[in-house]
Amino acid sequence: MTHFRLLKRTRQTTEYSCGASALQSVLAYWGEDVDERELMKRMGTTEAAGSPYPAMTDPAGVVMAFPDGLKGPAGTAWNVGPCCVADVDDVGFARAILADVGQAACIDTNRVYAVGVLTGGGMAYRLACDAADVFAAVAPAAFDMLAETVGTCVPARAITVIAFRGTADPRVPYAGGASSLVPGMPVTFLGAVGSFQAWGQIDHCAGAASSADANGCTHYANCQAGVEVILCTKQGGKDDPGDPTIAWPVLSRHAL
């Protein structure tokens, strides 16, 4: 795997991980209290990686970008609306990253995806709401949609969302509810199922959700424009970054 640091700014830094022949692109976000070493371990950018996203994406010739968030009241985080860093245009920053990556690597702009964990999962949700013209699909983990902003989530088009949640998450309760996760920025989580149902409505999915499969994933079928809405639940799971062996096949079959 080749790593090269291209984007250095006064506010944020991005590291890129390039596959052999880059085509698709993935922005990987992480959240509060996760330093760079932990990020590398979780998202698979070292040999001792704990998460296999690059193992899944490098053989497909995918460029992965790892943006660095700003420090908020609870540590490194992203502006997902009422939480978790104020006065920062992280949606604009995501667009700028993609423009920058496009100058350094040959990417298919119709096949750009976002994955994230913790507040990075919240950022993946925000990109689905506010940048569906750029991102083909998203895979948030260990975060939920917020009651404060779900009503303003009106994507430019229907977008695939595959979410990963653990029933024993210590910071973002699976059932949702009011939270002071970030001091001074109270929010109300819709919960894992509530977020899943919200996206079923946003993407105009018809009919009831399926029963959970062997991976704990339940699906909405017959969504607008053929997109998918999926919730994968890990019984006893905590703030895990999701399972790329499940997420990547879903993400990669969708394009703008």
Single pTM value for the model: 0.88
pLDDT at 25: 86
pLDDT one-digit tens code per residue, 70-108: 888 888 889 999 999 999 999 999 999 998 888 877 888
pLDDT one-digit tens code per residue, 135-163: 999 999 999 999 999 999 999 999 999 99
Cα end-to-end span (Å), the chain: 27
How does residue 11 score in pLDDT terms, banded at 50, 70 and 90?
Answer: very low
pLDDT: which is higher, 243 or 106: 243
CATH of 2-252, one of 3.40.50.300, 3.40.50.1820, 3.20.20.120, 3.50.4.10: 3.40.50.1820
Mean of the per-residue pLDDT values for the chain? 85
How does residue 40 score in pLDDT terms, banded at 50, 70 and 90?
Answer: very low
Q: Is the pLDDT of residue 246 over 50?
A: yes
Query: Going by C-beta distance under 8 Å and a sequence separation of 6 or more, which residues neighbour residue 1?
Result: 17, 18, 19, 45, 54, 58
- Where residue 207 falls (left for φ over 0; alpha for ψ -120 to 50; beta otherwise) is left
**Alpha-carbon distance values, 178 to 147, 171, 238 (Å):** 9, 11, 18
How many CB atoms are closer than 10 A to CB 226?
A: 10
How does residue 126 score in pLDDT terms, banded at 50, 70 and 90?
Answer: very high
